[in-house]
C-alpha cells in the first residue's frame, strides 16, 4: 500500500512504524473472513481492511471524525486477522497507534470520557476494583437483566497444596489486578502446578497491573507509569532471587507484557537496558510440560470429564500458544473438545464487553452455542476476562486450565 503520511507525524517513531505496517498491506481481504465484527456487521469499515484504509486516511492528514472513532472502537483487537494475513501486517500495533492518535483529537463525548476515565482509574488498582466487585457481586441478585449479565461473580478461594519448595529455579508469579480479585483460585492453582513441576514460586506482593486496561483505553501516561514501575520492581527482585521467569497466568496480561519492548521503543526508551528482564516474561503454558509432570508424578490421573476448551484470542492469535497448550493437556490425558470457529472471539476483550455490550453479547451468544454443542461438564480457558464473560452466560463451570490440572495433582502423589 502506498502511503503519504503527514510530515509532522513522520518525525515520530510511532508514525514511522505505522507507515511500515501500512505498506505491508496488499488489500487482499483475507482478514475479513476471520474478523468477528465483520462477520456480525458485514460492513467493510468494521473489518481490518476497512479500518486500515481509515487509519491511512487520518494519518495522511484527513480530518478525524467520530465515525472513524466508532469503527476503530468496534475492533476487539483479537488479532485473528494477523493469523490469517499472508503479508504479515501487524494490525494490532497499527490500531493501537491510531487509537492513541485519535484520542488526542477530543472526539469523544463527555459521558464517554468519564466512563473510560473511570474504568482506567478503577480496574488496574486491586484495592479499588476489589471494593467495586464485592459491592456489585453483592447487589447482583437485584440488578436488572443486562447489568446482571455484565457483573462477574467473585469466586471463593479453594486449597491447592504446594509441593516442597526446593526447586533451584525461582519464578515470579504475577497475580493480576482483576484476576486476583475475581479468580484467586487461578494463581493458587498455578502456584501448586509450578511447584509440582519443580519451580520455586514467589507470589507477587503487592499486586501490580500489567497496564493492559490503560493501554487499550489509550491512556498513555498511566500505561507508561505502570510499565516503568513493573520493570523497576522486577529488576530489583531479579538481583535478589536470580529469577528464571516472570510468569503470567492471564493470557491478556501476557500479550501486554510481551508488548513491552515495542511500547518502550515507541516512547524512545532504551530497550537494551531492560532486555535481560524482558526476556524472562512467560505465559504459564510455556513452563507447563506434560512429560516432566508425569515423570515427577507417575500416578497422575486426568479426570475423565467432558471438557470443552475455549482458547482466548490473546493466547491463540496474540501469543500463538493455544495449540501447544492443547497438545500438552491432551498428552496429560485430558479429553478436550474444541468448538467450531474456535478462532473467533467470545466478546470479552478486556473492557470491550462494557463499552460495546451489544456486539459483545452477540459474540457471546454464538460462542456459547458452539461450546455447549459438545455437552461439556466443564469449560476451561486461559484468561480471566473470558472466564467470567462465559460464566455469566453458561451454567457449566468455567475455570482456568491450571485449576483443572491442579485439582488432579493429588492423584499422582505417592
Specify the CATH number for the domain of residue 306: 3.40.50.1860
Closest listed residue to residue 406, CA positions, set 180, 179, 172, 191: 191
pLDDT digits (tens, 9 = 90+) for 142-186: 777 666 677 778 888 888 877 666 678 999 999 999 999 999 999
pLDDT digits (tens, 9 = 90+) for 12-27: 677 788 888 999 999 9
- How confident is the model at residue 123, as a pLDDT? 94
411: left (phi over 0), alpha (psi -120 to 50) or beta: alpha
Q: Assess whether the previous peptide bond of 206 is cis (omega < 30° from 0).
A: yes
Q: What is the residue range of 37's domain?
A: 7-103
pLDDT digits (tens, 9 = 90+) for 298-338: 989 998 889 999 999 999 999 999 999 999 999 999 999 99
- How confident is the model at residue 3, as a pLDDT? 67
Question: Is 57 within the bounds of a domain?
Answer: yes
Strands 307-309 and 336-337 turn out to be parallel
Return the DSSP state at 143: S
Q: Where are the beta strands (DSSP E) in 76-198?
A: 169-173
> Which of these three, 54, 83, 103, is where a domain ends?
103
> Which of these three, 85, 103, 121, is where a domain ends?
103
Question: Is 61 within the bounds of a domain?
Answer: yes
Question: Is 279 within the bounds of a domain?
Answer: no
Domain count, the chain: 2
Question: Is 398 within the bounds of a domain?
Answer: yes
- Using the structure block, give the residue that is written with the C-alpha cell 514511522: 16
Backbone angles phi, psi at 395, to 5 degrees: -75, -30
Backbone angles phi, psi at 183, to 5 degrees: -135, 65
Section 14-42 average pLDDT: 90
- How confident is the model at residue 145, as a pLDDT? 66
- How confident is the model at residue 138, as a pLDDT? 77
pTM of the model: 0.92
Closest listed residue to residue 392, CA positions, set 117, 149, 131, 178: 149
Question: Is 401 within the bounds of a domain?
Answer: yes
For the chain, give the percent of residues with pLDDT over 70: 93
Q: What is the b/e burial string over 315-347, where b = at least 16 CB atoms within 10 angstroms of the residue's CB? A: bbbbbebbeebbebbeebebebeebeeebbbbb
- How confident is the model at residue 148, as a pLDDT? 67
Section 83-105 average pLDDT: 92
Question: Is 53 within the bounds of a domain?
Answer: yes
Question: Is 1 within the bounds of a domain?
Answer: no
- How confident is the model at residue 90, as a pLDDT? 94
> Which of these three, 73, 103, 133, is where a domain ends?
103
Specify the CATH number for the domain of residue 41: 1.10.1060.10
Residue 335's Cβ-side half-sphere holds a number of Cα atoms within 13 Å equal to: 8
Question: Is 30 within the bounds of a domain?
Answer: yes
Please state, in angstroms and rounded to a whole number, the distance separating the CA atoms of residues 199 and 172: 10
Asked whether the predicted pLDDT for residue 412 surpasses 70, the reply is no
Amino acid at each position: 500500500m502506498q502511503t503519504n503520511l503527514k510530515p509532522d507525524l513522520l518525525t515520530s517513531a510511532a508514525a514511522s512504524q505505522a507507515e511500515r505496517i501500512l505498506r505491508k498491506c496488499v488489500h487482499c481481504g483475507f482478514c475479513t473472513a476471520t474478523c468477528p465484527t465483520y462477520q456480525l456487521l458485514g460492513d467493510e469499515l468494521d473489518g481490518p481492511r476497512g479500518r486500515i484504509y481509515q487509519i491511512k486516511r487520518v494519518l495522511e492528514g484527513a480530518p478525524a471524525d467520530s465515525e472513524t472513532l466508532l469503527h476503530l472502537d468496534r475492533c476487539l483487537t483479537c488479532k485473528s486477522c494477523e493469523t490469517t494475513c499472508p503479508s504479515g501486517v501487524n494490525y494490532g500495533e497499527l490500531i493501537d497507534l491510531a487509537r492513541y492518535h485519535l484520542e488526542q483529537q477530543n472526539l469523544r463525548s463527555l459521558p464517554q470520557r468519564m466512563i473510560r476515565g473511570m474504568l482506567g482509574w478503577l480496574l488496574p488498582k486491586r484495592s479499588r476494583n476489589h471494593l467495586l466487585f464485592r459491592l456489585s457481586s453483592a447487589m447482583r441478585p437485584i440488578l436488572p437483566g443486562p447489568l446482571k449479565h455484565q457483573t462477574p461473580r467473585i469466586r471463593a478461594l479453594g486449597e491447592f497444596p504446594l509441593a516442597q519448595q526446593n526447586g533451584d529455579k525461582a519464578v515470579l508469579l504475577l497475580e493480576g489486578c482483576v484476576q486476583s480479585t475475581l479468580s484467586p483460585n487461578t494463581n493458587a492453582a498455578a502456584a501448586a502446578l509450578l511447584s509440582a513441576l519443580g519451580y520455586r514460586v514467589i507470589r507477587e506482593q503487592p499486586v501490580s497491573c500489567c497496564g493492559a486496561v490503560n493501554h487499550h483505553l489509550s491512556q498513555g501516561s498511566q500505561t507508561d507509569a505502570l510499565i516503568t514501575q513493573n520493570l523497576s520492581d522486577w529488576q530489583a527482585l531479579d538481583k535478589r532471587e536470580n529469577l528464571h521467569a516472570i510468569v503470567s497466568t492471564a493470557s491478556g496480561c501476557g500479550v501486554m507484557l510481551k508488548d513491552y519492548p515495542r511500547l518502550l521503543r515507541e516512547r524512545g526508551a532504551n530497550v537494551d537496558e531492560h532486555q535481560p528482564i524482558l526476556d524472562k516474561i512467560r505465559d504459564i503454558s510455556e513452563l507447563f510440560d506434560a512429560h516432566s509432570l508425569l515423570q515427577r508424578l507417575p500416578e497422575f490421573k486426568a479426570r475423565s470429564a467432558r471438557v470443552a476448551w475455549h482458547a482466548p484470542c490473546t493466547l491463540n492469535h496474540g501469543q500463538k500458544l493455544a495449540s501447544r497448550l492443547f497438545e500438552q493437556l491432551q498428552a496429560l490425558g485430558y479429553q478436550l473438545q474444541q468448538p467450531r470457529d474456535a478462532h473467533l472471539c467470545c466478546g470479552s476483550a478486556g473492557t470491550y464487553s462494557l463499552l460495546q455490550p451489544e456486539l459483545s453479547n452477540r459474540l457471546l451468544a454464538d460462542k456459547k452455542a458452539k461450546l455447549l454443542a459438545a455437552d461439556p461438564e466443564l469449560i476451561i480457558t486461559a484468561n480471566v476476562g473470558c472466564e467470567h464473560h462465559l460464566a455469566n452466560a453458561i451454567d457449566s463451570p468455567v475455570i482456568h486450565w491450571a485449576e483443572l490440572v491442579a485439582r488432579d495433582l493429588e492423584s499422582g502423589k505417592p
